[in-house]
Amino acid sequence: MTASKLDQLREMTTVVADTGDIEAVRRLKPVDCTTNPTLILKAVETPAYAHLVDEAISWGKKAGGGEKAVHAVCDRLAVTFGAELTKIVPGRVSTEVDADLSFDTQATIDKARTIIAAYQERDIERDRILIKIASTWEGIQAAKVLQAEGIDCNLTLLFALPQAVACADAKAFLISPFVGRILDWHVKAGGGPYTAETDPGVVSVKGIYAYYKAFGIKTVVMGASFRNTGEIEALAGCDRLTIGPGLLDELAAATGDLPRKLSPASSPHVASPGGGRIVLDEKAFRFAMNEDAMGTEKLAEGIRGFVKDLRGLRKLVAARLG
């Protein structure tokens, strides 16, 4: 019997579940799991997890009231869901720093340390957790400090090579270059039609992967934000891929050969001017991002979206505490 495409993918790529749905993770058995404010908000609004929310609210009422308590309860919810996920997946769980701290290096560092301490209070060590940070210049500099302290980071909302270059320089443990949102931007701009191989998001991740492998960069490349299984199949062999439950189910139901498309030994090119390693200071980074309309717009849009859902979560928590 032919193995499913999901099983074939697992032979060459570490499969990560992009969800806060604990039951979906239990069913799909990924190695790692990632969450974000949008996914946590959805999980909190699901009746099945009411007991986890009730515990956090009860804890928050004992901690006092006000905005500080609301923020503390939101942190606790993120860690509570993360702790539940660590009981299911054998690998890492990514927990995101508040998106409204994306342009504050020190506040990001402080929040990351708080998250790690909260996990350690539950006897979950830092080697099970990735701190998820937006790939702004400030976020990347925070990751540089945290990595030096032994706190591994997942740099998210990554749309452009300059972001990937800066993350490598910061020695980030992992980056999450987005695929589907890049496709969305190009389609909205009138591009296409695209095949899986010409999909601009797929092309972007392949370029970043090739750059990393060409220079022996150890930062893990984890493709994210998929719109269809074709994008996933076109990146088979990438270090890791984080995939939502719906697409994981589609891959589990699909059969047929799934050829490997990416491997360290066969990276097709070095995606940099002149073929050398790119050097970026803050000014060069900001200018390079300014030159990339898609990268700049999608990064800003992504932060706004996460902040909106974070505020929604805080509003829900405030009402419950109130």
Write out the catalytic residue numbers. 132
Instruction: Using CB atoms within 10 Å of the CB of residue 28, give its burial: 0 to 12 exposed, 13 to 18 middle, 19+ buried.
Output: buried
Helices 66-86 and 50-63, axial angle in degrees (round to 10)? 140
**Closest Cα partner for 194 from 212, 206, 180, 174?**
180
Q: Residue 156 forms beta bridges with which residues? A: 134
230: tokens are 């074709």
- Report the C-alpha gap between 52 and 33 in whole angstroms: 18
Contact by Cβ (8 Å): 245, 24: yes
